Structure 1
Amino acid sequence: MTNHHKSRVNVHSKLTAVSSKPFGPGKTYPLSSLDHAMGLHRLHVIFYYGQSPFSAFDLDPLRVSLSEILSSYPKVTGRLNRDKVGNWEIKCNDAGLRILRAKVETTIDEWLRLAVGSEERDLTVWEDMPEDPNTWSPFLLQITDFEGGGVSFGLSCLHMLADPASVTLLFKSWIEAHHGQPITHSPSYDPLTNRGQPVPCTTNTKSSNYYANKANAQAPSVKMSTATFKFSNSVIKQCISGIHGEFPGATPFDLLTALFWTRVACLKAPKYDNKHSLSICLDFRGILQEPLPYGYFGNALHFSQLSVTEAELDCNCLGALAGLVHRHVLGIREEEIWSAIDWFESQKGEGGKYAAPFRMYGPELTCVSMEHMILGDESLMYAAMFDKETKPLHVTYHVGNVEGEGLIIVTASPEAGLARTVMVTLLEEEIDRLCEDQAIMQLKPTMLVSGGR
């Protein structure tokens, strides 16, 4: 996708990082049915640091540790290839990770406070996959230096190669290797099979029917913009206490999903059937009876739909709506996850070729939970510290090719406890109105790289 604004980010050099221990020719990793399903989307993760861990002219120490960690990530340094059937696989040829160096003539604090949502795209690489990707790097890293010593690391890849947890742990593993520490969550490439599945699978479930309907849904291509809202621990704690009477067990995700769902609904045209639907995206690594390793490298995402009436979406009943969200999330069972995977497998054509991908983020409003990235008191994205003084200031996630009603991503914040950051992608005119919404503004969020102003 091409940006039409004049970028303040100047890319001045390119290089390639290769594995310190070549993986060797001949090995391939086939992509799973869920990986193929994400084929229309790209994933972009940006880590902001107030102080660069290296001299602006000396990347060598980080390149050494990056080469070391890439030896454990052959999928990152390999290249896409079609197998005999026509399905995608990664050919492990040690071709390397493409790195871009860039500079922006503003401080990182000014950027986070004043940059608009569309500008943040320029901190990662947005490249469409070429027709022949055999020599194209599906993973790209952009390192951008800010005035005054700040730096951002923008990792981007095809979504069919990795989900948010995979990309986050790749970056965190690099930081651990840089410190000479053992990797906390080593990458796992075991095939996504029915691990400890308690009952036979079926494609006649809510999940499979939901995906079948989604495969046929259409959404117009429109210009979208993003706003980021950062809520403090004290505000979220107070809000949860405020809805305790309606629903006593609310989590930050329940609360913020309910809040933003109601506020976004106010920006949309009335529903002719009095029904509102929200697609909720969860990571299922920890949901399975036999959990996937946390370091599973690929896609472990499950989408499901929650539908409510106009009355249930009433903003005066936020606690009740939070309860509906909570019960829906808890109600996602392992059988539903496997039935969804079976449904994708059942769509294979002659010879076993996977069906063409469709838009997973949309066309209905979609909300992504990143609660799985918070383990105890530690959020994994903010544990990527070069030292005790260089914890990330902010971590942001973008999904490419989002269309339809929009996207809400609820993530951790650098502040510990219940603090959360919410990224919302909507039509440009809608995002500007959302940034002025009094129900949201009364919670005093910190606004970062927001809107199309």
Structure 2
Amino acid sequence: MSSATFHFPASAMRELLSSLDPSATPFAALAALFWLRIVTPNNTNAGEQELTLALDFRKRMHAPLPTGYYGSAVHFTRARADLAAGLAAAAAAVDRHVAGAKEDELWAALEWLHARQQRGDEPFQMYGPELTCLALDHVPLYGAEFELGAPPARVASRVGGAHGEGLVVVLSAAEGGEARDVLVTLPVETTARVCRDEEVLRYGAKVVFGPKAAKEA
């Protein structure tokens, strides 16, 4: 596995969103874009596919948890879409699934995990083997200051142990607003290919860390 980070400035996000339904969210747009380009790089007819979404439920609960809650409130759920229908259809499918995710699903998953622990079942991999997209672009990553008045230049994120088809993480960007960063952890050959993918880069995204960025440096 290898990693790369893509930066989508506000202008790139506006161009990407302009090609989709007006109600499309930045997370759904980026999740769908990378889903398609990872799974169907040659525009092959992949048909109906599933994408695992990792959603932060802290603020979606009946009794919301504070943003600073230290613990896991991430719910894993699977969206389905016909990738042959294109980017707009995939983004709409992701948005519908995120909007329809209920708190009851989270508690059911927690009860299932607790039952496994009580039985002494073996631990299992959370991020993998299926392709997973984690939504963190609502988290205020740039509120930290390591020196007075000096927020971080760029936040990096890593999920250890991701394997299989890989992981896509959508993050907020340093300039805020519509801008986003996307971190991918994928099989080595797939990471290199996505860093050169014209459909990913056509909207104005830049590879700020990864094979292409290293070559240009």
CA deviations on 1:40-72 (whole Å, 9 max, x unpaired) are xxxxxxxxxxxxxxxxxxxxxxxxxxxxxxxxx
**2:90 is equivalent to residue 313 of structure 1:** no
CA deviations on 1:249-296 (whole Å, 9 max, x unpaired) are 11110111111100001249x799x43211100111111101123222
Change (3 A) 1:240 1:267: closer
**2:6 is equivalent to residue 237 of structure 1:** no
For 1:279-318, what aligned pairs fall within 5 Å after superposition? 279-308=52-81, 312-314=82-84, 317-318=86-87
Aligned length: 211
Whether the 8 Å CA contact 1:267–1:430 is kept in 2: the answer is no
Give me the whole-angstrom Cα distance separating, in 2, the residues matched to 1:347 and 1:429: 35
**2:119 is equivalent to residue 356 of structure 1:** no
Give me the whole-angstrom Cα distance separating, in 1, the residues matched to 2:23 and 2:196: 29
For 1:130-149, what aligned pairs fall within 5 Å after superposition? none
Give me the whole-angstrom Cα distance separating, in 1, the residues matched to 2:196 and 2:138: 30
Whether the 8 Å CA contact 1:345–1:354 is kept in 2: the answer is no
- 1:366 is matched with 132
Give, as a single letter, the amino acid of the residue that structure 2 aligns with 1:415: E
- 1:66 is matched with none
Give me the whole-angstrom Cα distance separating, in 1, the residues matched to 2:148 and 2:83: 45
CA deviations on 1:16-61 (whole Å, 9 max, x unpaired) are xxxxxxxxxxxxxxxxxxxxxxxxxxxxxxxxxxxxxxxxxxxxxx
- 1:426 is matched with 186
Whether the 8 Å CA contact 2:129–2:164 is kept in 1: the answer is yes
Partner secondary structure for residue 157 of structure 2? strand
Give me the whole-angstrom Cα distance separating, in 2, the residues matched to 1:288 and 1:279: 20
- 1:27 is matched with none
Give me the whole-angstrom Cα distance separating, in 2, the residues matched to 1:370 and 1:241: 22
- 2:31 is matched with 257
Partner secondary structure for residue 288 of structure 1? coil
2:98 aligned to 322, 329, 337, which one? 329
For the aligned residue pairs, the C-alpha RMSD in angstroms reads 2.0
For 1:17-416, what aligned pairs fall within 5 Å after superposition? 224-243=1-20, 247-267=21-41, 274-308=47-81, 312-314=82-84, 317-348=86-117, 352=118, 354-373=120-139, 380-385=140-145, 386-388=147-149, 390-416=150-176
Whether the 8 Å CA contact 1:254–1:322 is kept in 2: the answer is yes
Whether the 8 Å CA contact 2:9–2:205 is kept in 1: the answer is yes
- Kindly state the Cα deviation for residue 354 of structure 1 after the two structures are TM-superposed: 4.4
CA deviations on 1:350-404 (whole Å, 9 max, x unpaired) are xx3543211110111000000330xxxxxx211112223x221110111111111
Give me the whole-angstrom Cα distance separating, in 2, the residues matched to 1:365 and 1:263: 12
Rg (Cα) greater in structure = 1
TM value normalised by structure 2: 0.90
Q: Which has the higher helix share?
A: 2
Give, as a single letter, the amino acid of the residue that structure 2 aligns with 1:344: L
Give me the whole-angstrom Cα distance separating, in 1, the residues matched to 2:182 and 2:87: 17
Give, as a single letter, the amino acid of the residue that structure 2 aligns with 1:358: F
Partner secondary structure for residue 347 of structure 1? helix
Unaligned runs of 5+ residues in structure 2 are none
Give, as a single letter, the amino acid of the residue that structure 2 aligns with 1:302: H
Change (3 A) 1:298 1:354: farther
CA deviations on 1:108-137 (whole Å, 9 max, x unpaired) are xxxxxxxxxxxxxxxxxxxxxxxxxxxxxx
- Kindly state the Cα deviation for residue 313 of structure 1 after the two structures are TM-superposed: 1.0
Change (3 A) 1:271 1:342: farther
Partner secondary structure for residue 290 of structure 1? coil
- 1:53 is matched with none
Give, as a single letter, the amino acid of the residue that structure 2 aligns with 1:345: H
1:417 aligned to 172, 177, 200, which one? 177
Whether the 8 Å CA contact 1:413–1:421 is kept in 2: the answer is yes
CA deviations on 1:420-450 (whole Å, 9 max, x unpaired) are 0001111111111111111112122222221
**Structure 1 runs (4+) greater than 6 angstroms displaced:** none
Give, as a single letter, the amino acid of the residue that structure 2 aligns with 1:233: A
Give me the whole-angstrom Cα distance separating, in 2, the residues matched to 1:287 and 1:341: 15
